[in-house]
């Protein structure tokens, strides 16, 4: 049975409930026994454990080696760390340029 990682676990739980899943109702956990009760959903076809990003380290099906491989694949794809200073600096420059362009446009309209 899968563990799911999402940026929006409460929304995911709500969607599962709307499809008939019993979530956070202390349903018996046959397979995902380490899933926190408030993140556990039972469906007719199986079980799901929904984790938010802050709880990712508690997942049991994804190992530290899996996370390292994922980060390495992101580094290789972007040419630098996806979470590194280069990316943040680039975003800052882009935001600053956009603000300056908006200010220049606003002044030109006056």
pLDDT tens column, 49-94: 999 999 999 999 999 999 999 999 998 876 655 455 555 555 556 5
Cβ-based neighbour number of residue 86 at 10 Å: 13
Greatest Cα-to-Cα distance within the chain, rounded to the nearest angstrom = 68
Write down the pTM of the prediction: 0.65
Is the CB of residue 5 less than 8 Å from the CB of residue 59? yes
**CA 50/CA 72 separation, integer angstroms:** 25
Mean of all residue pLDDT scores within the chain: 81
Is the CB of residue 24 less than 8 Å from the CB of residue 38? yes
DSSP class of 28: -
pLDDT band of 30, cuts 50, 70, 90: very high
| pLDDT over threshold 50, residue 21 | yes
**CA 51/CA 32 separation, integer angstroms:** 13
């Amino acid at each position: 049975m899968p563990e799911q990682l999402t940026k929006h676990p409460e929304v995911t739980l709500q969607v599962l409930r709307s499809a008939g899943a019993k979530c956070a109702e202390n349903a018996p956990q046959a397979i995902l026994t380490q899933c926190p009760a408030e993140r556990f959903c039972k469906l007719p076809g199986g079980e799901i454990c929904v984790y938010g990003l802050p709880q990712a380290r508690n997942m049991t099906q994804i190992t530290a080696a899996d996370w390292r491989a994922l980060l390495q694949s992101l580094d290789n794809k972007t040419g630098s760390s996806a979470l590194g200073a280069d990316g943040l600096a680039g975003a800052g420059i882009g935001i600053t340029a956009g603000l300056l362009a908006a200010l220049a446009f606003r002044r030109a309209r006056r």
